Amino acid sequence: MDSFKAWRIPYQGGEAEGGVQALARGDLPEGEVLIRGAYSSLNYKDALAVTGKGKIVRSFPITPGIDVAGTVAESSAAGIEPGDEVLVTGCGLGEVHDGGFAEYVRVPADWVVPLPAGYTPRQAMAVGTAGMTAALALIRMEAAGQRPEDGDILVTGASGGVGSLAVDILSNAGYRVVAASGKESAAAHLRELGASEVVKPEALARSQRPLDKERYAGVVDNVGGELLSELLPCVGLYGNVAAIGLAGGTKLDATVMPFILRGVSLIGISAANCPRSLRLEAWRRLGADLQPTHRDDIVAGEVGLEGLREAAEAMLERRTTGRTLVRLGD
């Protein structure tokens, strides 16, 4: 491997100049494992980085892309051999360390996760950070006592990558899922993924009171902001709310009443920097009881490196539904 292609952001403030470049082996960062990338995926963070519309990247020059799946090309780490199929999600990939939008990626060994049984690299990236995040939400909610018999689980931002996979995973796990999406065109697809009910955000049970009528046994929230604030008073006794996203804002205007009078738990989900043991457990379960039934159907599109900017702009303009895969190499 003398040279390879990568999407490169050259310097801070220069995102408009970012694009596909030829890099050499010497341009790769340090790490024990060299991966020949097969697929990556376009996440919200990636779209912000590629378009320069968010302060995601913290080191320049850099290759964005917080996911990658492929085959080990070289390894100096025990237990990781050339030819192994692996994936990497989060861990600073595409933020402070050259990421997945490249034909070759070099990373520290402890970032590397074996590809789950029954997955191809493409299928792994159909799930990717989005699926891992959804799995982490359910794992942590169930650790706090969430059970299907408790009642409905609301998924907000349900037509996005995390939301779509959360609907699939939760319904497979026996939960009755209420999917909230502002996209009317997504309703039929969400029902196919397992949603029992699809509603617009403005039609949800939400309240500005400290407590209101119990409606949801739990919530997987991809929106944040005002919506999350107004859902908390409607969560039932000892319900759990997994906070994942901030598309609706970062401010949380709430009282302690749901927490001290109903025992509601607000659980933060951070997939990028979760402990390795929890990362391995999430991917193990994604290959077993939490494997999405519709992982291929959730893929809305596939682009090569040259199509990244257009795909990123479409995502930020909310013109996409489900997952967008990034094909690496030929």
CB 220 within 8 A of CB 244: yes
The token pair that represents 84 in the structure block:
């192994």
Q: What is the pLDDT of residue 56?
A: 80
Q: Which sequence spans correspond to the domains of the chain?
A: 3-115+298-327, 130-268
Per-residue burial over 26-43, b if 16 or more Cβ lie within 10 Å, else e, is ebbeebbbbbbbbbbbbb
pLDDT in tens, 270-315: 999 999 999 999 999 999 999 999 888 889 899 999 999 999 999 9
The contacts of residue 317 (CB under 8 Å, 6+ apart) are none
Confidence of residue 59 (pLDDT cuts 50, 70, 90): confident
What CATH number does domain 130-268 carry, 3.20.20.70, 2.60.34.10, 3.40.50.720, 3.40.50.10210?
A: 3.40.50.720
- Give the CATH number of domain 3-115+298-327; options: 3.90.870.10, 3.80.10.10, 3.40.190.10, 3.90.180.10: 3.90.180.10
Mapped onto helix, strand or coil, the DSSP state of residue 136 is helix
Q: 320: pLDDT confidence band, cut at 50, 70 and 90?
A: confident
- Closest alpha carbon to 231 in 244, 249, 222, 219: 219
| Cα gap 313→299, rounded to integer Å | 17
The answer to whether the beta carbons of residues 52 and 120 sit under 8 Å apart is no
Strand duo 216-221 + 153-155: pairing = parallel
Q: Express each pLDDT in 200-244 by its tens digit.
A: 999 999 999 999 999 999 999 999 999 999 999 999 999 999 999
Residue 14, pLDDT > 60, answer: no
- Nearest CA to 154 out of 133, 182, 175 is that of 175
The reported pLDDT for the residue numbered 58 is: 78
Taking alpha carbons only, the member of 265, 206, 254, 247 closest to residue 229 is 254
Cβ neighbours of residue 268 under 8 Å, at least 6 residues apart?
243
Half-sphere exposure (Cβ direction) of 82: Cα atoms closer than 13 Å: 4
Alpha-carbon Rg for the chain, nearest whole angstrom, is 20
What HEC string does 240-277 produce?
Answer: EEEECCCCCCCCCCCCCHHHHHCCCEEEECCCCCCCHH
Task: Give pLDDT tens digits for 127-163.
Answer: 999 999 999 999 999 999 999 999 999 999 999 889 9
Q: What does the chain come to in residues?
A: 330
pTM of the model: 0.92
